[in-house]
Amino acid sequence: MEAVVTTLETMFQKTESDLDDIRHMLESEILKGLPSDLAPEENPVALLEEIAAVKSRYKTLCTQMRNVFAEQRESIRSICAALVDTMKIVQVLKQHAGLECLPLSAEEEAATLQLTCQAVELLVEEPSYARPTSTASTEEEH
């Protein structure tokens, strides 16, 4: 299995190298056919380089946002766990203090349910920036 993976990695590296060579040849051909007094914003090679830089920055930002999303999820989990523990501690303290543990009122029950649902939605929901985009990875370095 490792041999197959190594072979595929080698093929991808070769293909990437070939694409880089083709890109350089195209850039060279484009530059040969352009007038020398062309403004930078009209230069197709400069525009291609700018697009590559923007794509790279976009990919970096997506990675950072996925990390933020993961940390946000972990924070929500931690907060929910702390809230559940706090509610248990309050119940135990009420019992030790001899206070009658009344069932939650309808308003308290609704608030608890709403808080739980919101936390679950945030944990389940995956924002678009957190999903890897196939175009960002496949169009890299063209």
pLDDT tens digits along 2-22: 787 788 888 888 988 898 898
138 neighbors 49 (Cβ within 8 angstroms):
no
Rounded to two decimals, what is the model's pTM? 0.51
Task: End-to-end CA distance of the chain: give it in Å, rounded.
Answer: 30
Rounded-to-integer distance, Cα 95 and Cα 23, Å:
74
Q: Beta-carbon neighbour count of residue 56 at 10 Å?
A: 13
114: pLDDT confidence band, cut at 50, 70 and 90? confident
